[in-house]
């Protein structure tokens, strides 16, 4: 049903392949548009966006390791590093 397509990146102008598997994934998720950027440009934009966020220092309530979080910590709620947060999330 799906076939690989060659697309041109909006940012760098390089050609990239929109694979049949990626097209199937997009269809399953209900995405209407094809990607307009190659993987390298998508990753670059993602890094730029996450670099603009302010982060705050905190100490993990589970393991005691220092960590950075994207919100101001409140004393009435525990804060977890990403590893402990994922572990706790998996327990639910």
pLDDT band at 51 (very low <50, low <70, confident <90, very high): low
pLDDT number for residue 76: 87
% of the chain residues with pLDDT over 70: 96
pTM for the structure as a whole? 0.54
Cα separation, 49 vs 68, whole angstroms: 16
* Helix boundaries (H) for 5-92: 20-29, 39-51, 82-91
Closest of 41, 42, 5, 46 to residue 23, by C-alpha: 5
Whether residue 52 is predicted with pLDDT greater than 70 in this model: the reply is no
Q: How many CA atoms lie within 13 A of 21 on its CB side?
A: 0
Contact between residue 18 and residue 35 where contact means Cβ atoms under 8 Å apart = yes
Q: Residue 9's closest CA among 38, 39, 35, 42?
A: 38
40, 10 contact by CB (below 8 A): no
Q: What is the pLDDT of residues 13-49, one digit of tens each?
A: 999 999 999 999 999 999 999 999 999 999 888 888 7
């Amino acid at each position: 049903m799906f076939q690989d397509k060659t697309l041109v990146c909006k940012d760098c102008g390089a050609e990239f392949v929109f694979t049949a598997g990626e097209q199937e994934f997009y269809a399953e998720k209900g995405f209407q548009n094809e990607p307009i950027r190659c993987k390298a440009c998508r990753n670059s934009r993602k890094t730029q966006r996450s670099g603009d966020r302010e982060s705050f220092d905190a100490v993990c309530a589970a393991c005691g390791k220092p960590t950075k979080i994207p919100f101001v910590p409140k004393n009435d709620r525990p804060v977890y590093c990403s590893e402990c947060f994922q572990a706790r999330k998996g327990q639910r």
